């Protein structure tokens, strides 16, 4: 993440806040399952297979939707080329808006899988050479990097190298707080707020300009 400019840091932190917001809404709606934290859902799947098959079924549905979102996002990124950040964020905003609309019109069972698909898709926003370079929905690696960069600073390394990682984590936590507050007031309709922010971030991504292709052309031997 330290290889990116400040505008990308801001975009990543904003995108992470959307992920935190959506995960909080999904968590409260589902009563303990997640729409972006798939490590937690994997544990819930394993435990549910033993003690609660209904939880296990919901967990596997969310896992499948998340992976489907990653696949779709990767394909869309390859097609969008140098404008992939803007396109992916617009797609994420569309999926979240559709999730809110389905819940409004009585198709609430599809709302959370669509949220999970959106969260899988959003993780393809930041790529280098076909690999995710900044994960915006999972923070364990980010906190490890934060600790490492902070230790480097104490040892005389780059003084502020830890800041982007802290900003990414704070973005997710702040988004989760906002999502919790809004869900308690508006229910699943609060997801439209995240959709609007995703679209706004797509507009901000335009100010960064085109980026390198997400995938490197493969040369056959």
pLDDT recorded at residue 127: 79
Residue 216 has pLDDT above 50, yes or no: no
User: pTM for the whole thing?
Assistant: 0.89
116: number of Cβ within 10 Å: 31
Distance separating alpha carbons of residues 201 and 160, to the nearest angstrom: 25
Residue 42 has pLDDT above 50, yes or no: yes
Q: Which helix (H) or strand (E) holds 127?
A: strand 127-128
pLDDT recorded at residue 115: 97
Tokens of 176: 């989760």
Helical segments of the chain, H only: 6-30, 38-51, 53-80, 84-104, 111-122, 140-154, 163-186, 191-208
Residue 220 has pLDDT above 80, yes or no: no
Residue 1 has pLDDT above 80, yes or no: no
Contact call for residues 189 and 155 (beta carbons, < 8 A): no
Least confident of 43-52, 136-145, 151-160, 199-208: 136-145
């Amino acid at each position: 993440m330290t290889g990116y400019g400040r505008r990308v840091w801001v975009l990543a932190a904003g995108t992470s806040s959307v992920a935190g917001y959506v995960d909080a809404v999904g968590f409260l709606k589902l009563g303990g399952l997640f729409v972006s934290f798939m490590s937690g859902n994997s544990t819930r799947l394993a435990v549910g297979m033993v003690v609660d098959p209904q939880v296990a079924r919901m967990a596997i549905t969310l896992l499948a939707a998340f992976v489907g979102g990653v696949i779709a996002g990767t394909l869309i990124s390859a097609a969008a080329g140098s404008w992939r950040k803007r396109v992916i964020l617009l797609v994420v905003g569309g999926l979240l808006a559709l999730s809110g609309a389905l819940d409004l019109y009585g198709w609430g069972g599809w709302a959370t899988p669509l949220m999970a698909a959106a969260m899988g898709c959003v993780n393809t926003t930041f790529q280098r050479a076909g690999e995710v370079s900044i994960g915006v929905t999972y923070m364990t690696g980010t906190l490890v990097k934060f600790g490492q960069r902070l230790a480097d600073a104490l040892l005389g390394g780059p003084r502020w190298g830890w800041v982007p990682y802290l900003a990414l984590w704070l973005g997710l936590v702040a988004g989760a707080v906002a999502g919790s507050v809004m869900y308690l007031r508006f229910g699943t309709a609060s997801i439209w707020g995240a959709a609007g922010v995703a679209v706004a971030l797509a507009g901000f991504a335009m100010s960064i300009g085109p980026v390198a292709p997400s995938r490197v052309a493969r040369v056959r031997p």
